[in-house]
Structure 1
Amino acid sequence: MLPAGEGAPAPPPWHALPLPEVEARLGTGPHGLPAAEAASRLARFGPNELEPAPPTPWYITLLRQFRSPVIYILLAAALVTLVLRDVVDAAVIAAVLLLNASIGFTQERRAERSVRALMSLVAPRARVLRDGHEREIEGRDVVPGDLVLLESGMRVPADIRLVQVTGLVIDQSLLTGESEGVARHADPVDEAAPIADRACMAYSGSIVVRGRGRGYAVATGMATELGAIAGSIREQATPQTPLQERMERFARTIGVIVALGALVSFLLGVAVGESPSQMFKVAVALAVAVVPEGLPVVFTVALALGVRRMARRNAIIRKLPAVETLGSTTVIGTDKTGTLTENRMTVRELWTPGGARPLPPPGPGAAPIDLTPPERLLLIAGVMTNEADAFLAGDVYETSGDPTEAALLLAAIAAGMEPAELRAAPVLLDIPFESERQYSTSCRDFEGAPTWFVKGAPERLLERSTAMLTPSGPVPLDREAVLAAAHELASRGHRVLAMAYRALEAPPGPDDHPEGLVFLGLQAMMDPPRPGVREAIAGCRDAGIRVVMITGDHAATASAIAAELGIAPPGAPVLPGPEVDRLSDDDLRERLRETAVVARAAPEHKLRVVQALRADGHVVAVTGDGVNDAPALRAADIGVAMGRSGTDVAREAADMVLADDNFVTIYAAVEEGRVTFENVRKVTFFLVSNGAVLLVVILAAVLFQWPLPMVAAQLLWLNLVTSGIQDLALAFEPGEKDVLKFPPRRRSDGIISPLLWERTVVAGIPRLIGTLALFRWELDHGASLESAQTVALTTMVLFQAFHLGNVRSERQSAFTRSPFLNPFLLIGTIAALSLHVAALYLPPTQFVLRVEPLSFEAWWRMIAVASTILLAVEAHKLWVRRFGPVYRLFVRRAAVSSTA
């Protein structure tokens, strides 16, 4: 765009200007720009291409792996152990941190490389007039003021103010979400018209469906509507995922508990006579033992496994935390065209004066339909006035050309006709579609006579018809009946085309137009829903997830599809995009609580809807494939882009890309997201319950003025070795069958639920009593302190092994889940126990850990005591299952929400 002078009022937008003013502002004319001026403007405005978002430097991606409060706690623990010159423990913690960072770094870099293709939307070639001569140039060389020539099949290279059109129809679905091509004209439109209604403009990235046109490039590169959207994506901050929010709250809680526990144990120990140096080492060891240092690695592994499982189900994750976000999603805001629907028009119903008939989809080997004469001629008329093509590719029909005309061909094929045979009839005269006429016609030598075949808007064909064809023959035209049928079909979201014909005695002249037609009927078409989408939406509803359609299509079309898919009941209110502009933030949130369809939505409307839903406390996923979806994709908790039909701008903005463009895949990804979070929760519960009981055992022994049940090295062994193997294996736990039968987690819910905090106490009581009781037993029966500490340590190891059975399911009994469902966990448990047994009997580890071999009787006592944790937790699970509804209601009302 050529800018106005500094301080001058902003001129009217290009679509509102008459052509002379457009030419004056651009400094151009009907012969295009001189070559020298074009070169000057190219240097001034730069190439006609989108500026790529700079790649994230590798060191930023690496440092991002350390941005976690849990990581901060581990770094502090490593520094303390280094100050105490405990190099081995510091090295172990450092290894944990580096392993976690390397996994996350590798995954994020791989995902970023796989989706960086932002530049591919710019047209590679363009045809322009320069110095009065037509030239083909690189699309990047188009400049403001160039007179650009458009023809069928071209991608529009810049934002263009049209000056001349001939049957020009533009597919601008990537900008507006409209499923149908839109006719263009050269007359200015209202200054306040939204993008979808600026019929005198052709925007960069849109596609010419049919016809020809020419116009002046008014904006190029980042100054285009496409560029503005791409720029707004980069300005849009990416919100924290629910998992990241929960991790921060959890880490703060753990940090406070660790600091207080270590301080209290140190002060109590000194108060009862222990040496300060010894108690300081114990306090540090206890802090390291209580901090779940294995948690970051297990988090990363669990999320990476979720990425891999989702990839097998055609969902590609770009950043690890996004894996879990879908499992927390409460609202999915979905585009219609290409996401819920197939992005191709299909004739769904035929109407003739003899009645209506639904039409099945075409397919190889489909049985011919018994057609009435009006129905047969109705379908033939749609084939004869048609420039599209359809051909069989494997088991499906592929089409080329205008989607509406392709739908008419497929309708004839569905009825058992062969369009190629019909169109072999010689053409006597063709009159192409013009927006002023609103019809097209072809005169053919059909069945031995010149015959007009006409298709177009019902009102226009009725003006040229004098009769209509019924199964029993022609009858006088009933205009009101036809219009009523057309209105009824349109109210259900169909696009309606009328067909008529007339047999002539002689071929028409070149200036003749069809008159005295016999009206045949209507063909009603719609972009059909994708297979399985209705079931997926029902599944989302059962999982407590609300689906909201946000589309650029008209309200009637959006409402019809929403009703067909079960998003909203028939006749439910629709929120128009322009109304979104007029509503306050509070009013918009209120409307969205009652409305599941937003129609005629521009990019700014979709973005504001997402922001309103998030402000209302929802975890929002947004799906989309067009450039118009990109700002909302970035602003949502998780943006889901289409991999096949989606634009690169949308993929760049999204957190997840669907390789098959199928909404059904989102439902599968929700399941995987919930499984991933459940595994993260299981690991967290396992580690926290282990660390909490260690803290209480040490504090209790200090209060009782007993010797310490475990020394610092034993605490670290228990936490870093025996727990470290098993918690990693928990990340491989398969999902439970009822994972989608529960509502989504609230944003305020912690990683550990109130029920699991309660179960931490239930599981901790037998561990506390059992460990201290066996420790005291050994001391009272003459065992050495090292032997008693070995018993206490081994009892805790066995408690952990039994506790794994409890952790595998929050609701199901441990005895109903086969150990072979997760072979990694079975092998990990055996490996952890084997390592510990070996440590008891090998001299080097005996010296480091200060342990002794145990007697056979001691082993039996420890196994018997450790198994009590299964009985305690099984009793708790039974209680919750039996009194579940009342119990959960009581807990939800009476308990304070978890802060972690």
Structure 2
Amino acid sequence: MTDPIETPINVNISEQPWYTLTSEKACEIANTASETGLTEEDVEKRLSFFGPNEIAVEAGLTRWQILIHQFKDPLIYILLAAAFVTFVLQDYVDSGVILAVVLLNAVIGYIQENKAQSAIRALSRLSDPKAQVIRNGREIEIPSRDLVPGDIVLLSSGGRVAADMRIIMSKGLEVDESALTGESEVINKHVDPLRTPNLVPADQKNMAFAGTIVTQGRAKAVAVRTGDSTELGKIASTVKEIGITKTPLQEKVDKLGKHIGNLILGFALLIAVIGILYNMDPTEIFITVVAMAVSAIPEGLPVILTVTLAIGVRRMANRQAIIRSLPAVETLGSTTVIGSDKTGTLTKNQMTVRQIWADDNLFETTEAGYQLEGTISEGGNVITPPAESGLFQTLLAGTLANEANVTAVEMGEPQGDPTEIALHVSAYKGGIRLSDIRLQKEQLDFLPFEPERKFMATLNKNENGQTIFMKGAPESVLDRCKYQLKDGELVPVDPEKVKTVSKQMAAQGLRVLAMAYRSTESEYLDDRSVLEEEFVLTGLQGMEDPVRPEVIEAVQSAQESGIRVIMITGDHIDTAVAIGRQLGLDPEEHGALEGKVLERLSDEELDLQLMKINIFARVSPKHKYRIVDRLKESGHVVAVTGDGVNDAPALRAAHLGVAMGKSGTDVAREASDMVLSDDNFATITAAIEEGRIVFSNIRKVTFFLLSTAVGELIVILIAVLMNWPLPFIAVQILWINLVTNGLQDIALAFEPGEPGILKRKPRPPKEGILTGRLMERLGGVGLVLAAGTLGIFWWIYQQTGDLDMARTAAMTQMVVFQFFHVLNCRSLDRSIFRINFFSNKFLFVSLVAALTAHLAVLHVGFLQTIFRTMPLTIDQWMLIVGIGFLVILGGELDKFVNRWRKNHIG
């Protein structure tokens, strides 16, 4: 051990390129000794200097701060103004309803803002295992939070790595890094230094990273980064910095709220100026402004937005997509780019043997994944290989030279290296009963896989002695083979032919392993000479993490909908390209962009690459985040899928983060807006359709509600200009807005989707809830509503001289207009005469209920007193209904013109 030092280290230990150093140099820089470790004095100093080995959790906002933050929104200001107005008018029930809406929105916002802190807490839980270390020359177990840089750590199978470490001794160490890097295969670790600069974590084969899991083997390592300095900690820091990304719907609602607020302010000033010019009494001016404000505020809009989104949540849940925040329902409907992880999302995350070369023939397997079903076939004919064939011996070597738990595979709960599980399954498909063969050919000794050898071997009992079974990299196994087994006969091996077949299989994105055997009298594998003698090559097995069969159709469907699908993975470039081309992601064969290349690109250069490349391989978490960020900067609405810790920053930064429910980590789920309960990319396509339906219904509801507001505004403005009495009082406007409209707008939220909605191109990202064309229609409908209402008001006032009667007729006219107009709004493009009236039964119920409620207001005594109404005559009703039908004629004419122009509004 070196002499004690005054400071724990004299270099920035967290930024050292550890993978480029020798193990001796790593220990020297960390100021530790590989045999004795640190002293207690060293540990105390370093713990004080570096702090505990844990990821810092943000203090975050207090509950009160988060709650107050929910009220800093233009739409909320308008709602509060509406509540105040209704309170002044002593309409306490309506005031209470509006305040309840404000509270509901605050609760939803509170839940969303709390997600970032939840993601950090999940990361913190991941980094809290125990650690086996050497201190003062003794092996002891410590809480991982007490681990410090320079500690000598012992790693063993099944343990979780507690910090970032440089491996200094390894015996068959294999680590599952999929949660951190996205790498689908277990990584074989070694001790040798790597000279290539700027390697991503997935390529640092002599490092072990915090949060990953040791699947087999043993190792000794020196801890070099702890806490926030680890790769896991850097991801946590990135998630903290990103914060909350507003969804497009939230931005559109904010924008709409500001427009409504400005409109109310403008009209209030206009009416006040007109009143002053007309020498109106100040009290009358105030009453007029209040009536105008009440008419302009769509009180029911926030409620119906929440209801529409909640209906979407329920529909998506039925299609295996679990929504964690309401605004996320719509975001998928407006998505222009989906950035998908590969492993477990586009693929099964279950290695599967696809091709077997033996007996100079190529065989194929059926079925994918770990289930013990399927067959082996040649040219479409099912094969049951005889025991003496090369095919049978290839399968036999694959299942015996294998450390994956056989019992677990047979019980349907496989454990171990995915490659070795795949070899067990392929053997079963060839007729080998796994447990039985293990009993018949008892394992006497085994040699684990090591990167230097590139193969593993087992020694098994045989009827006439012992047999060594070997599996490994084709070039390594081939070097030891003199013969090849072909149809039960030993023939000289043809190395060039074997290499050619191996390359052909690898070119298809398959991971290729070779199998061989030899008889021996040795009872141990310690004598390495027995591994260098003449083996018999039995064949090759090529495997892949197969594409989910339904994903190909789902990707094609997304592309037909105008949505670009890109793959962002930590896996090897060859594997990524092979899978990407199977999915149709690279039709022009631009290939893939690797993380180490992306690292060197400026933002402008990356933007150019993003315009043509759809496959990104060997990327780190910061690369994935950067890709998402650049796509957002380019104006795209971005959805990102992922399941690992490495995906958390991108999930948080995207407009919509989509996590896997089955295989996903807690960190990924907490950072996401939506969870796929079936881990299936195809579910996203279903969710896209539901999202588009939700936005279409939101647009319908908004148009319906604002039509009334525009009509009422025009009525009040013209009445003031004409110096007429107001056609409605404020409480009558509230009745129209909150009660009659309030039933019908909810019914619109239940509208089924428009035919072919999934085949439409995504809406332009900057397009608001109200398009220019829809605002034209809004103005036209508002004029029809205003003209009809003013006309009936003036006519009845002239006929009867009774202001209450005229106001009752004007209010009823607006209600009847809405009865007809809600039918127009069932589709913003199709004729109402082509829509089955009973396809939305709730709409029928709402119309009956609204009509019943309005008749009660006209005929029930105490309601007549509250709303200042009176019964209408049959002649008056007939005139009102006739005028009301004009809104349908106008709507049909406008839709016809729109269809002729081939423009879609809804």
Task: Specify if TM > 0.5.
Answer: yes
Measured in 2, the distance between the counterparts of 1:74 and 1:506 equals 86
Q: For 1:19-38, list aligned pairs within 5 A.
A: 19-29=23-33, 30-35=35-40, 37-38=42-43
Measured in 1, the distance between the counterparts of 2:799 and 2:124 equals 78
Aligned-partner residue type, residue 499 of structure 1: M
- Which residue matches 1:435? 451
Q: 1:661 aligns with which of 664, 679, 690?
A: 679
Aligned-partner residue type, residue 16 of structure 1: T
- Which residue matches 2:597? 579
- Which residue matches 1:873? 891
Q: Note if 1:421 corresponds to 2:425.
A: no
- Which residue matches 1:17? 21
Q: Note if 1:535 corresponds to 2:553.
A: yes
Aligned-partner residue type, residue 459 of structure 2: C
For residue 203 of structure 1, report the CA deviation from its aligned partner: 0.6
Q: For 1:604-753, list aligned pairs within 5 A.
A: 604-753=622-771
Please list the CA deviations of residues 693-749 of structure 1 after superposition, one character each: whole Å capped at 9, or x if unmatched: 111122333444544322333223322332233333433434334331212221210
CA contact (8 A) 2:79 2:102 kept: no
Q: 1:99 aligns with which of 74, 98, 101?
A: 101
Q: Note if 1:142 corresponds to 2:147.
A: yes
For residue 185 of structure 1, report the CA deviation from its aligned partner: 1.3
CA contact (8 A) 1:104 1:300 kept: no
SS of residue matched to 2:347:
coil
Aligned-partner residue type, residue 231 of structure 1: S
Cα RMSD between the aligned structures? 3.0
Measured in 2, the distance between the counterparts of 1:11 and 1:47 equals 18
Measured in 1, the distance between the counterparts of 2:560 and 2:223 equals 50
Measured in 2, the distance between the counterparts of 1:152 and 1:10 equals 26
- Which residue matches 1:370? 383
Aligned-partner residue type, residue 595 of structure 1: I
Q: 1:198 aligns with which of 196, 204, 209?
A: 204
CA contact (8 A) 2:175 2:186 kept: yes
- Which residue matches 1:166? 171
Q: For 1:848-887, list aligned pairs within 5 A.
A: 848-881=866-899, 883-885=900-902, 887=903
Measured in 1, the distance between the counterparts of 2:584 and 2:11 equals 53
SS of residue matched to 2:758:
coil
Q: For 1:512-523, list aligned pairs within 5 A.
A: 512-523=530-541
For residue 750 of structure 1, report the CA deviation from its aligned partner: 1.1
Please list the CA deviations of residues 339-383 of structure 1 after superposition, one character each: whole Å capped at 9, or x if unmatched: 212222111111235222221136556567414522111111111
Aligned-partner residue type, residue 438 of structure 1: K
CA contact (8 A) 1:26 1:144 kept: yes
For residue 295 of structure 1, report the CA deviation from its aligned partner: 1.3
CA contact (8 A) 2:108 2:326 kept: no
Measured in 2, the distance between the counterparts of 1:806 and 1:58 equals 44
Measured in 2, the distance between the counterparts of 1:384 and 1:780 equals 100
Distance verdict in 2 for CA 1:389–1:754, change over 3 Å: same
Please list the CA deviations of residues 532-587 of structure 1 after superposition, one character each: whole Å capped at 9, or x if unmatched: 22222122122221110000111110011112223223844211111112222122
Measured in 1, the distance between the counterparts of 2:526 and 2:228 equals 47
Q: Which moved more, 1:676-685 or 1:592-601?
A: 676-685
Distance verdict in 2 for CA 1:752–1:447, change over 3 Å: farther
SS of residue matched to 2:470:
strand
For residue 436 of structure 1, report the CA deviation from its aligned partner: 1.0
Q: Which consecutive unaligned segments of at least 5 residues does structure 1 have?
A: 892-897
Measured in 2, the distance between the counterparts of 1:3 and 1:287 equals 69
Measured in 1, the distance between the counterparts of 2:83 and 2:404 equals 70
For residue 177 of structure 1, report the CA deviation from its aligned partner: 1.1
CA contact (8 A) 2:13 2:30 kept: no
Q: Note if 1:175 corresponds to 2:180.
A: yes
Q: Note if 1:792 corresponds to 2:810.
A: yes
CA contact (8 A) 1:107 1:304 kept: no
Please list the CA deviations of residues 251-308 of structure 1 after superposition, one character each: whole Å capped at 9, or x if unmatched: 2222232233333344445545654532331122112211212212222232233334
Measured in 1, the distance between the counterparts of 2:118 and 2:620 equals 29
- Which residue matches 1:767? 785
Q: How many percent identity over aligned positions?
A: 44
Distance verdict in 2 for CA 1:594–1:2, change over 3 Å: farther
Measured in 2, the distance between the counterparts of 1:824 and 1:869 equals 22
- Which residue matches 1:484? 500
Q: 1:802 aligns with which of 805, 810, 820?
A: 820
Q: Which moved more, 1:1-10 or 1:35-44?
A: 1-10
- Which residue matches 1:235? 241
Measured in 2, the distance between the counterparts of 1:439 and 1:364 equals 26
- Which residue matches 2:68? 63
CA contact (8 A) 2:345 2:681 kept: yes
- Which residue matches 2:417? 402
For residue 8 of structure 1, report the CA deviation from its aligned partner: 8.1
Q: For 1:257-656, list aligned pairs within 5 A.
A: 257-268=263-274, 271=277, 274-352=280-358, 354-361=360-367, 363=371, 366=374, 369-372=382-385, 373-391=389-407, 397-424=412-439, 425-471=441-487, 473-504=489-520, 510-511=526-527, 512-569=530-587, 571-656=589-674
Distance verdict in 2 for CA 1:55–1:446, change over 3 Å: farther
- After TM superposition, the score normalised by the length of structure 2 is 0.91
Distance verdict in 2 for CA 1:508–1:150, change over 3 Å: closer
- Which residue matches 1:895? none
Q: Note if 1:49 corresponds to 2:54.
A: yes
CA contact (8 A) 2:200 2:619 kept: no
Q: Which moved more, 1:568-577 or 1:860-869?
A: 568-577
For residue 391 of structure 1, report the CA deviation from its aligned partner: 4.4
SS of residue matched to 2:518:
strand
For residue 417 of structure 1, report the CA deviation from its aligned partner: 1.7
CA contact (8 A) 2:82 2:299 kept: no
SS of residue matched to 2:142:
strand
Q: Which moved more, 1:134-143 or 1:224-233?
A: 134-143
Distance verdict in 2 for CA 1:2–1:541, change over 3 Å: farther
SS of residue matched to 1:423:
helix
For residue 437 of structure 1, report the CA deviation from its aligned partner: 1.1
For residue 674 of structure 1, report the CA deviation from its aligned partner: 2.0
Matched residue pairs, number?
A: 884
Distance verdict in 2 for CA 1:863–1:822, change over 3 Å: same
Measured in 2, the distance between the counterparts of 1:654 and 1:377 equals 47
SS of residue matched to 1:631:
helix
CA contact (8 A) 1:61 1:105 kept: no
SS of residue matched to 1:787:
helix
- After TM superposition, the score normalised by the length of structure 1 is 0.92
Distance verdict in 2 for CA 1:867–1:640, change over 3 Å: same
- Which residue matches 1:894? none
- Which residue matches 2:232? 226
For residue 332 of structure 1, report the CA deviation from its aligned partner: 0.7
Distance verdict in 2 for CA 1:864–1:215, change over 3 Å: same
Measured in 1, the distance between the counterparts of 2:305 and 2:6 equals 53
Q: Which moved more, 1:587-596 or 1:837-846?
A: 837-846
Aligned-partner residue type, residue 617 of structure 2: A
Measured in 2, the distance between the counterparts of 1:761 and 1:688 equals 10
Q: Which moved more, 1:744-753 or 1:418-427?
A: 418-427
Please list the CA deviations of residues 200-253 of structure 1 after superposition, one character each: whole Å capped at 9, or x if unmatched: 211111111221111112222222111121112101143322112212222222
Distance verdict in 2 for CA 1:616–1:418, change over 3 Å: same
SS of residue matched to 1:433:
strand
Aligned-partner residue type, residue 159 of structure 1: D
CA contact (8 A) 2:71 2:106 kept: no
Q: Which moved more, 1:6-15 or 1:322-331?
A: 6-15
CA contact (8 A) 1:144 1:217 kept: yes
For residue 488 of structure 1, report the CA deviation from its aligned partner: 1.8
Aligned-partner residue type, residue 23 of structure 1: C
CA contact (8 A) 1:241 1:325 kept: yes
Q: Note if 1:157 corresponds to 2:162.
A: yes
